[in-house]
Structures are given as structure tokens and as C-alpha cells.
Amino acid sequence: MPLWLVYHPEGIFTSDAKAALAADITSIYTAVGLPAFYVIVNFISLPNSSIHVGGKSPSLEKPFIRFSVDHIAVHTEGDVKWQARIAARIETKLKPHIADKGYDWEFHVDETPRELWRVNGFVPPPHKSEAERLWAEKNKAVEWQNPKGKL
């Protein structure tokens, strides 16, 4: 499950802009076979006076957008090349929504232990497994035979 928290000044994103950005973020993950419902994008609107970069509030002409991303479903296992590919995919998807508009931005990705993750009480199936393909096809969590049992 990727969880994206998008911190932004009030009024920067319209509802349509949020939907378009969320769709592009989701496509990062569905392109590698993850179910779309795994991807959660929360837009957190803040008064510009509540955002400080280097001790100062950014101007509204050049707003600052902060992305905090948690990866849970799939980890890079310290593979530097894989990490670079993920960062490049993120940059590509953010570009039309952020960079091309002249905004300043920053993102980071944390990898949360998969063992601490559940969806509707189910242990999610292994990545690229038949059960995960079923979840992607149905776009929801469904019961599956977990050889390790339900934790």
C-alpha cells in the first residue's frame, strides 16, 4: 500500500487537479501490477502561514508542496538502482502537476514493514502472486488462502 500525504497551501489544487494528480500517482503502482485500491492519496490543505521552509513562509506565487510517501506493499530491499527508478517515476508523474506549474516541492519515501499491514483484516497476498492479481482484478480485498494463516 502506498500512502501519499500531500501537504499544500490552501487553494493550490482544485478538485479536478487533485483527481488528476491522484490518478497519475495511482498509475505508478498499477503499472507494476498492484491493485488500484492500495493507493491512498490524502491532500492536506494548510494556510500558507503554517508552511515554513528554511524558517520562512513561501510566497503564494511559488508555493511549496511536500509529499510524504509510505511504501508498504513492495520494498526496494536497499537496491539503489530500483530506488533511483522509483524516484524517477515519481518525478515524472509529479512534473505536469507541480514542476511545470513552477511550484517548489520535495518528497521522501519510507518503507514500512509489510508485516504490520492489514486490509479489512486480511493479510495482503505476496506481490505478483495469483491472489494479488485477483485483488487487482476485483479492485478490493477478498479472502484468499494464506499459507501462513491469518495473523
User: What is the grid cell recorded at 132?
Assistant: 494479488
User: What is the grid cell recorded at 35?
Assistant: 491493485
Domain boundaries, the chain: 2-138
Stretches in the chain below the pLDDT threshold 50: 151
How many angstroms separate the CA atoms of 133 and 34, rounded? 8
Model confidence, pTM:
0.92
What does the CA dihedral 138, 143, 147, 149 come to, rounded to 10 degrees? Answer: 140
For residue range 31-46, list pLDDT tens digits in order.
999 999 999 999 999 9
SS (H, E, C) 24-39: HHHHHHHCCCCCHHHC
Give residue 61's pLDDT.
86
User: What is the grid cell recorded at 22?
Assistant: 491522484
Give residue 89's pLDDT.
97
Q: Which CATH class is domain 2-138?
A: alpha beta
- Do β-strands 2-9 and 64-71 pair in parallel, antiparallel, or remain unpaired? antiparallel
Q: Which of 54, 24, 61, 106 is nearest to 2 (CA)?
A: 24
